[in-house]
Every structure is written in structure tokens, then in C-alpha cells.
Structure 1
């Protein structure tokens, strides 16, 4: 078990005056590590979009299926998960290490409340390693520098950006950030990404965007073509960029995957040649 990168992190003040995406997501998942301001926004969103909680859970189930595929079919043994969120079992490392105990996992998130729960993310198998980095995706070089302490960047790495890029506005240059992260990975690595879209239920998504904006949170839905752009230069794994429920539902274990449900998130996995 590796230690956390806690430089100045433990002194960060947790801002409870406005909602934070990780804590709202935790509320949707039925967690208890959120504040009234997060619950208030979650309830407002549920009031206009009754599927919001199911969408959050579907995104979590997507991560679980992808990790099973990575560990079993792709043989990946190293994972870098950025935008980790508050731990919700099973966490990525639990799934990966259940299939391959020697797997090494690095988590990164910018919310101080996630750091307070990092111990749950660091419960590795004896054969493997897990580590946690307190950092923002807008600091790709810092994340990569810290991740290299745990991961061997001469061997394939699975980079997870699950439900993260829609919190990046165009001014954050999200495509550039993803490209810089992928560029540091060796051939045989994979990019895992899910992203909000307004293609499927534009009215509900627009209302959600407005509510997040009122709470001071950026939320940017993107079209199928815009999501596909994140994978430029990579080899998409079948079935490509699809609604989350369409990505290998046969890999589901405990989760419920309704392929006909309208889930306003695209997801995909792609391999770096």
C-alpha cells in the first residue's frame, strides 16, 4: 500500500457553501459523504429528471464492466483513474485485483473530501499496490509525475476519465488535456471515457446544466462527434462510442443493465496503437 500525496492537501478547506460534483454523485449513489447543499441540488435535478439517479448508477456500472474487461480480456495490470470521486464499493481496484491480485492502481481527485476517504482506496491486495493523488485533471503533468512513483510507464496503463470531461469547459481545453495524458502512455494502453450528451434527451439535460450552473458548477454536454474526438488516433474497442448501457452488457455481474433505457451518457474504450 502506497501513501498519499498530501502536500498541503489536509489543510484544504472543504467548501460546503456550494455543491461539488463528487458529492452530488455520491448522493445519487446513495452515499452519505455529502452535504445539504449537494443533496439540495440532487433533489432539484431529480425533480425535473427522475432518471438522474439511475444515470449515475449506470455510469458506475459502466466503470465496473470496463474494469472487468480490462483485467480479463485485455490483460491490463495498471490503472490510472482521474476524477475518482468518493469511494463506493466495489471500487476500481477491488474489481481489478479480484481478477489479477498484482494489479497496481492510482487514483486522482481534486476534492479534499475524497482525500479524507483515501484509506478506503488504499486497501490493496498484498500482491498489488494502490495509491491516491490529490490533484486536478487540469494538472496533467503533476498527475503523471506522481503516478510514475507507482506505475511503470513502459507497460500498458488503463487511463479512466469516467464522467469527468463534462465538468471541463472549452476554456479548459479538454481535448488537449486528454491528449497530453494519453501521449504519456505506452502503446497497448487504453483510454476509458464517459461523457454527458444532450443528443438523447436534450430538454432534461439542458435543465440539469442550468441547475449545475446555478450552483456554480460547469457542466458541458457534448455530441457523439465531440465525444468521439477524444479518441482521435486511438483504436476503438467494439462497440465504439455508444450509450453506456450498450457497452458489453454481458459483463454485468450484480448491476442491472437495461439496454433500452435512455441514458444521456456516451462511453467508450480505445487502445493506443
Structure 2
């Protein structure tokens, strides 16, 4: 579900972390009892949360494979990358283009610790300790030593992470700042948690915000996500539940979620 909010500090195991909760929902082991307890509460509000997490991960895999194989993209910025989950973005992209470069961006302490050992693994991967809202820092660190060439197409990934931002952090403006830094022919992948059910939106937002010590944003509505794509050319199948985005034969049929879903798509920078 993404991992943003606040400033980097020592790993705090007394309150849940969105990154560690997401890890647990995906069947990972990089989580603590406090995270598991928070997930159990989440499941009472939204029983499909596990399926949603898996669907989100499969979408990320499909979209990176598409960008690498069909669009020829060899540079990636993975904002709010979260804890390592195989296949990671660089493993997918480099399986298509050995020279592909991936910069992972996150600010959660446990993600930083594991990211530097498990994601920053060769001279074509880099881990950047930064908030995704700090576009200048992200671009500066990604471009350092010519790692990412912003004069050439880049794929900026914001997959299942924007709901970690509060409205006051102005996620739409963040998207537009990054869009302005990208070369023509770049791509932006944007999706976030939405629900038509006001109760689910309110209860999940309250649970996650209180549980993570205020390091969470909110479940939004589809119209909010549509606004993020202003000025971008959205690719077919346009904006939708991510389970409907170019389904392939590599994954079993995704379970449909009912209380909420991940809504978004892929767009080209012209």
C-alpha cells in the first residue's frame, strides 16, 4: 500500500508501518506483531485487502514488463518502492534490457535498510532516501553521476502509494512537478486506493492514519485520480481497476475486490 510520510528515523516497532503491513498482506516476513494486528483490523473493514495487495503487485509487474518490452523504456523511478518483493522492478526491466536502470525511492526506515541491501544490488540500481513529494531531491539524486538521464524517456512509477499522501501534501501538484521534469516520450504510472463506499473510505483512512501515527493520507474517489492525469495522454485501456489493465497469462485470474480497488493507469508525456 505504499510507504511514505514523515522523515526518516529509527525503525519504530511500536506502531504499524504501511510498508510492513503491505508486506504481510503479500505473505512476506518483514513485519512485526503490531503490523499483523493492524492488518487484522483492516481485514474487518475491507476483507478483500489481501487480494487487493496481490492485484496491485501483479499490476506493477505487468506494467514494467510492458514499458520495457513494448515501449523500450530503460530508465525507471519507483516512488514509494516499499519492501523488496520479487520480482522487483529492476529484475523485470533488466530481464528485457540488461542495461535498464532503476532508482528506488522511499523514506520508511525499514524500507531504507532492506532496500540498500536487497535493491541496490548492481551499478544499474540505486536506492534514494527521499520523500516522493520532494521532486527536486529525487531528480537530483537520480541524475547524480549520470545514473538517470532526464533528457531521455523515463518511467515514473507511483503504484499504490499516493494514498499515503494527505491532501495538504498536494499529490496532484507532485505529479505535475515530476511531469515537467520528464522528457517527451516518458511515461507515468499512477494508481491509488479508491472506494465508492463512504464508510470504507472513512474507516480505512481513520484506521491507517491513527495506526501509523499520522503517516498516511486517505482512500479517495475515482474523480481524484482522474485529476492526476491532467495534461497526460492516457494509454488504453485508459483509467480503470488495475486488474483490468492488460491482463496476461503469467498470473492466475485476479480476485475481484468489492469494498475498494486500485484505480489508475499509464500515460505518456508528450
Same fold (TM over 0.5): yes
Instruction: Tell me the CA shift for residue 241 of structure 1.
Output: 0.9
Shift in Å at residue 204 of structure 1? 3.4
Question: SS of the counterpart of 1:207?
Answer: helix
1:164 offset after TM fit, Å?
1.2
Secondary structure of the residue that 1:195 maps to in structure 2? strand
From 116, 139, 142, the counterpart of 1:147: 142
Q: Deviations over 1:180-233 (max 9, x none)?
A: 11111100000001111112x444343322211331342312222210111111
Out of 177, 180, 202, the position equivalent to 1:180 is 177
Contact 1:205 1:264 in 2 (8 A): no
Matches within 5 A, 1:46-195: 46-118=43-115, 119-124=117-122, 129-149=124-144, 150-195=147-192
Asked whether 1:208 is paired with 2:176, we answer: no
* Deviates further, 138-147 or 83-92: 138-147
CA contact (8 A) 1:78 1:104 kept: yes
Q: Distance in 1 between matches of 2:140 and 2:201?
A: 36
Instruction: Output the CA distance in 2 between the equivalents of 1:143 and 1:219.
Output: 20
- TM-superposed CA distance for 1:122, in Å, is 2.2
Structure 1 CA distance for aligned equivalents of residues 263 and 177 of structure 2: 22
Q: In angstroms, what is the RMSD of aligned CA positions?
A: 1.8
Q: Secondary structure at the residue paired with 1:89?
A: coil
Q: Whole-Å Cα distance in 2 between the matches of residues 85 and 155 of structure 1?
A: 26
C-alpha separation in 2, matches of 1:60 and 1:28: 11
What is the alpha-carbon distance in structure 1 between the residues aligned to residue 207 and residue 12 of structure 2? 18
> TM-score of the superposition, structure 2-length normalised?
0.90
Q: What does residue 4 of structure 1 align with?
A: none
**For this pair of structures, how many residues does the alignment match?**
258
Query: Per-residue displacement from partner, 1:247-267 (whole Å, max 9, x unpaired)?
Result: 0013x5135434x55451102
Runs of 4+ in 1 over 6 A off after TM superposition: none
Q: Residue deviations 1:60-87, cap 9 Å, x none?
A: 1110000011011111110000100000
Match for residue 242 of structure 2? 244
Say if 1:141 and 1:255 are closer, same or farther in 2 by CA, change over 3 A.
Answer: farther
Distance between the aligned counterparts of 2:16 and 2:247, measured in 1? 32
SS in 2 for 1:117: helix
**Rounded Cα–Cα distance in structure 2 between residues aligned with 1:16 and 1:255:** 34
Residues 61 and 255 in structure 1, CA contact (< 8 A), matched pair in contact too: no
SS in 1 for 2:125: strand
Structure-2 change in CA distance of 1:27 and 1:152 (3 Å): same
- SS of 1:269's equivalent? strand
1:254 maps to which residue?
Answer: 251
Q: Which residue of 1 aligns with 2:4?
A: none
Corresponding residue to 2:19 among 18, 22, 32: 22
Asked whether the equivalents of residues 158 and 190 of structure 1 are also in contact (C-alpha less than 8 Å), the reply is: yes
Give the alignment's TM-score, normalised by structure 1. 0.89
